Structure 1
Amino acid sequence: MKFAVEVLLPKYGLDPFGARFEVNAQRLRYELALTMRFDSEQMPIGIVVASESCRHIAKKDDRLSFINKSLISYSSRRNPFMEMSREGKVPIIQIRQDGPTETGASKRGRPLKLAAGEATRTALSTINTAEFPHLFALRETLSEIGFLEINPSEARKANDRFEEKKLRSDASNLASVLAHLKEETGTPARPEGAVADISIDLSSLINSVKRVKVHSGSNVREYSFSIETEDGLDFSSRLISDGTLRLLALLTILDDPSRRGILCFEEPENGVHEGRIDDLIEILRESTQDWSLEESPFQIIINTHSPAVLNSLHEKEIIAADLISTVDPEAGCSVHRTRMRVGVDDDALDLEPGAILTRAEISRLLRKRQGQA
């Protein structure tokens, strides 16, 4: 299995020991290949790293289109930050030091070499400090990929005061996160803080909702929440519908001022009236636009089979995926693979659906059986 990712790193960062570092090459490409190990009887016994590398992306080669490249810091270095080589028959991963220390003294020296013959973890996973600022920033960026797969029965529960402040993928600490957001962002003029924003967005998607009420304070042993409706009724978290809980957890992430990283969210239209899909997509879009190059950007990746969601997306936001069959001339058999296409062209005639991606072509994909698109 082979993976490749191109990232936009924040300009500055802090390692776990409080050392501040600067990233001179904000655009990196990281590649990883994994392979299966077999025993003498050809039975699989584990997965190892086959190759691993990381290099900067030069400005002339950068395909990034959603931001002005003149605002990004690029590097002119020739050597990659990490690459695979060999010493005799032994595969080696070389990690090159980069950047100055806080005193300004250069830290460039001989590459750190790791034997990779039986590596069961990546070299990137060993980078824990700003001694390697670019690789450390890369690791931090990749570790901030989050998934939201809400478990309604867990999301309804009250939480103790020592729960973590970052929302778990199943939203089991939702009450605690809401309470911390209220405490950390509230002001005398706006005591609810970011929770007020969550209430506004939730009521814009569900007409009957008036506001989200967080039950916290020094006299409360456990954090909990409820929903107040327009007709004055108050529903505890145990009575809120699954769809409302799902939207509340999503908005808790989107309206957090310290949001960062990548959020992967499946079928955002679930629990939302079709007439409110445009509003939901606009909330998702706006949450990704308020950031600076000195910080880690926030990105959202969704998947959907909904024509309503498709109609709300801009052309540059769409990636169409479908399953196609090709003939392998060497094996003499049919091979199934996933095709990923970008570049929706609404001005093109829909005469070559395999070559030109139009909204009409994507609509056909959405009508295919599950598993084919």
Structure 2
Amino acid sequence: MITRIEINGFKTFSDFVMEFTPFTVIAGTNASGKSNLFDALNLLSNLADKDMRSAFKNLRGDAEEQFTQFSSKEFSDKINLAVEILVDKTVKDNWGEEAILKYTRLRYEIQINRIRNTKGFDDLKISHEELVPIKHQEDKWVKNNIDTNFLESWIPKVKTGKRGKPYILTDNKLNKQIIKIPLDGKPGPGREFSANEIAQSALSSVNSVEFPHVFAAKKEMLNWRFLQLNPEDLRRPSSRMAPDTVSHSGANLAAALFRLQQEDEFVLNDISIELNNLLPNFTKVAITEEISENKFVIKLLSDDGREFTSRVLSEGTLRILILCILKYDNQHKGIICFEEPENGIHPFRLKMMIQLLKGLSTDFTDIELPLLPLRQMIVNTHSAAFVDKILKENKTYKEISVWFSKLVSKISSNNKQNCKYTKLLPVSYSHGQISLDFLEPSEIAMTELEVEKYLETKDFES
């Protein structure tokens, strides 16, 4: 679970800071930078597993376009990213080895420089990388978001051997930048890399619990799921040889549902009820086998007795179905980043959609949830009706936060020109009024007026 992000030099972000809750909503008009935040998270997730060029290749735009643009031909020469995360108390690798973590609160930093080489091409180099534990006494996020009665379920007590050095650090050795991974909790040399020679992050090099806290941070970032649903993948039946977890495009949905049915004979009833709450025309979800094709197929039964396979279902119906399935999948963990969850939902059923999204995020007050992996839901939306419903009906639910995205003008320190940058402001609603934090007094009135105007927008759901 990500709890804080700091970004500088990436797209429209300059000295940007934002905190997250288990269910985080980012609202605002189009072209205000909402999707750029997902791009930053996507880059971090890529860097945990891929070489740098591949990590940048999977983003919107060329590698150079990920660096903040100051003018038509001038870009930032470095990107700084930092995240603070909460991870599960145990971590398991692909060889079945398991480790219990001493710290579940970690902070990861990385700086990527764009350097022109002797051949005239730009190289991407890591000049700084660090992973450190967040000290309990300094952890304001935990104090604000997890009740002390439930604290030990998520934050282990550190009785002895407090960590004195980072799990990943950058050092200077003979005028060279060296990135080190010291052994975690045991003596030994650990690993060292020359920053000028490595093509990917030190974090990505760890694949086992030999370095448990580094491996836990890597697994957390790899579990950030960016749902970019492809209708063709959602509709396609699953082969018996298909993976039984849902991909970011929605592929393998039928295989995942078949696995859930094998694990719990009543789960299809729960998923059917969840779907019916949002789409009353459908009363039952079923998974069948096409023996001749050796495939699994999802079928929905309508209230008039007709049966529809996933091949003919609308994209809107499939978007809702995948969320219902993920909610009841005990193997689902990490973050879901989801754009415009209100699409295809009748305005009278927005409240039920919000409840479904809440069900896909961890409730720190639920004593049964520590048995499940950590879950987080981050959505962006430009629907005023969706945001208004959340603000007015979840005033006391601290696991939900709403942020308003806007572009602000700022003089660039590089070329002293006026540039537009993304700013996100936390929004709350109490006593019938909107409240905003992190603002200069002179900005408050204008920005609150912007939010009021946004919430009064008559979009398709109003």
Assess same fold via TM > 0.5. yes
Counterpart pick for 1:118 among 197, 219, 223? 197
Q: CA deviation at 1:233?
A: 1.2
Matched, 1:324 2:408: yes
**1:141·1:296 contact (CA, 8 Å) conserved in 2?**
no
The verdict on how the C-alpha distance between 1:42 and 1:325 changes in structure 2, with shifts beyond 3 A counting, is farther
Q: Indicate how the Cα distance of structure 1 residues 9 and 229 shifts in structure 2: closer, same or farther if over 3 A, else same.
A: same
- Matched letter for residue 182 of structure 2: R
Larger relative contact order (CA 8 Å, sep ≥ 6): 2
**Residues 273 and 134 (structure 1), Cα distance of their counterparts in 2 relative to 1, 3 Å cut:** same
Q: Which of these residues, 176, 187, 196, is aligned with residue 90 of structure 1?
A: 176
Structure-1 residue corresponding to 2:109: 31
How far is 1:257 from its partner? 2.4
Residue 37 and residue 332 in structure 1: after superposition, are their counterparts in 2 closer, same or farther (change >3 A)?
Answer: closer
Residue type matched to 1:79 in 2?
K
Instruction: Report the residue type matching 2:135 in the other structure.
Output: A
C-alpha separation between the residues in 2 aligned to 1:33 and 1:299? 26
Unaligned runs of 5+ in 1: 100-106, 187-192, 369-373
Aligned to 2:443, which of 340, 346, 354? Answer: 354
CA RMSD of aligned residues (A): 2.6
Query: Does the 8 A contact of 1:344 with 1:359 survive in 2?
Result: no
| Residues 1:224 and 2:297 aligned together | yes
Cα distance, 1:332 vs structure 2: 3.3
Partner of 1:102: none
Superposition deviation, residue 330 in structure 1 = 6.6
2:453 matched residue in structure 1: 364
Q: CA deviation at 1:354?
A: 2.8
Q: How does 1:159-170 map to 2 (within 5 A)?
A: 159-170=238-249
The alpha-carbon deviation at position 350 of structure 1 amounts to 7.2
Q: In the aligned structure 2, how far is the partner of 1:295 from the partner of 1:180? A: 17
Give 2:188's match in structure 1, choosing from 109, 115, 118: 109
CA deviation map 1:244-265 (0-9, x unaligned): 0111112111221232111111
The superposition leaves residues 105-143 of structure 1 with CA deviations (integer Å, 9 ceiling, x where unpaired) of xx2334432211132200011111111111111111111
CA distance in 1, matches of 2:293, 2:89: 41
C-alpha spacing 1:121/1:273, structure 2 compared with 1 (3 Å): same
Report the 3-state secondary structure (helix = DSSP H, G, I; strand = E; otherwise coil) of the residue aligned with 2:311: coil
Matched, 1:2 2:75: no
Aligned with residue 421 of structure 2, among 326, 329, 337: 337
User: What's the counterpart of residue 274 of structure 1?
Assistant: 347
Residues 171-180 or 275-284, more deviating: 171-180
Question: After the TM superposition, which of the residue ranges 68-77 and 231-240 deviates more from structure 2?
Answer: 68-77
Match of 1:297 in 2: 374
State the 1:296 CA deviation.
3.2
1:284 matched to 2:357? The reply is yes
Distance in 2, matches of 1:358 and 1:7, equals 30
Q: Report what 1:73 is aligned to.
A: 156
Q: Could you tell me how far 1:366 is from its partner in structure 2?
A: 6.5
Work out the CA distance in 2 between the residues paired with 1:349 and 1:253. 33
The amino acid of 1:184's aligned partner reads E
For 1:138 and 1:357, the matched residues in 2 are separated by: 40
Say which SS state the counterpart of residue 415 (structure 2) adopts.
Answer: coil
**263-272 or 168-177, larger mean C-alpha shift:** 168-177
The residue type paired with residue 272 of structure 2 is S
Distance 2:388 2:111 in 1: 37
Partner of 1:139: 218
Whole-angstrom distance in 1 between the partners of 2:188 and 2:211 = 12
The whole-number CA distance in structure 2 between the counterparts of 1:150 and 1:330 is 39
Match of 1:189 in 2: none
- 1-side partners of 2:456 and 2:199: how far apart? 42
**C-alpha deviation, 1:211, in angstroms:** 1.0
Q: Measure the CA separation in 1 of the matches of 2:279 and 2:202.
A: 47
Distance in 2 (CA, whole Å) between partners of 1:42 and 1:251 is: 51
One-letter amino acid of the structure 2 residue matched with residue 31 of structure 1: E
Computing the radius of gyration from Cα coordinates, the structure with the larger value is: 1
* 1:256 corresponds to: 329
Q: Of Structure 1 and Structure 2, which has the larger fraction of its residues in helix?
A: 2
Distance 1:169 1:367, change over 3 A: farther
Code of the residue aligned with 1:8 in structure 2: it is L
Q: 1:264 to 1:31 in 2, by over 3 A?
A: same
Query: Separation in 2 of the partners of 1:115 and 1:36?
Result: 17
Q: Is the deviation greater in 308-317 or in 146-155?
A: 308-317
Change (3 A) 1:173 1:349: closer
Q: Who is 1:311 aligned against?
A: 388
Seen in structure 2, the aligned counterparts of structure 1 residues 309 and 41 have a Cα distance that, compared at 3 Å, is: same
The answer as to whether partners of 1:154 and 1:172 remain within 8 angstroms in 2 is yes
Matched residues, number: 354
Give the whole-Å Cα distance in 1 for the aligned partners of 2:139 and 2:105: 8
Structure-1 separation of matches of 2:124 and 2:445: 39
The normalised TM-score by structure 1 is 0.86
Q: Distance in 2 between matches of 1:119 and 1:276?
A: 51
TM-score when scaled to structure 2?
0.71
Compute the displacement of 1:31 (Å). 0.7
**Corresponding residue of 1:201:** 274
User: 8 Å contact 1:194–1:256 — kept in the other structure?
Assistant: no
Q: What secondary structure sits across from 1:200 in the alignment?
A: helix
Q: Give ranges in structure 2 of 5+ residues lacking alignment.
A: 1-78, 458-462
Structure 1 position 360, deviation (Å): 5.7
Q: Quick check: 2:233–2:251 contact (8 Å CA) kept in 1?
A: yes
The alpha-carbon deviation at position 361 of structure 1 amounts to 4.1
1:190 maps to none
Whether the 8 Å contact between 2:427 and 2:434 is mirrored in structure 1 is no
In the aligned structure 2, how far is the partner of 1:66 from the partner of 1:118?
41
Report which stretch shifted further, 291-300 or 170-179. 291-300
C-alpha displacement at 1:171, in angstroms? 1.1
Q: How big is the shift at 1:63?
A: 2.1
C-alpha distance in structure 2 between counterparts of 1:219 and 1:183, whole Å: 21
Q: State the shift of 1:202 in Å.
A: 0.7
